[in-house]
Each structure stands twice: as structure tokens, then as C-alpha cells.
Amino acid sequence: MAKQVINVDGQDMAVREDTAKAYRGVYWALLSIAGFILIAAIVFFSGLFDLATDNRPTPSPAENVSTGR
């Protein structure tokens, strides 16, 4: 079986290849989730979410003419 080296708590450990892939996969999954949360927070706090859910649509030009604006 192939061995790979992973770093756990500052120490290098030689583990099986499938264990090393699972270890790296968990970190990639956590990093992806953190990235998704960060992007969602940026969108939410930038106001794009508020603009997308605005229940007062912009009046069409025809409505502007009929109201005299």
C-alpha cells in the first residue's frame, strides 16, 4: 500500500493513501463551506439581497407618462 505524509498538529505522520485523501477532502470541504458563507455574507451585507427582494418595482415609462412625472 502506498503511504503519504500528512501534517497533524505540527507533526508529520505517514498514513495510507486513502486516509490521506480523506484527510485532505475534509479540509477542502470545510474550506468550501467557509468560502460559501463568506460570499453569502458579502452579498447580504452589500445590499444585493435587499435589492433583489424589493417589493416596489421601478415604474415603467408608461406609468410615468400617465402620472405626469
Which pLDDT score is estimated for 44?
A: 81
Residue-level pLDDT, tens digit, the chain, 69 residues: 789 998 888 899 999 999 999 999 999 999 999 999 999 898 888 877 677 676 776 777 777 665 555
Q: CA-CA distance, 4 to 19, in Å (whole number)?
A: 9
First vs last C-alpha separation in the chain: 78
Which pLDDT score is estimated for 54?
A: 65
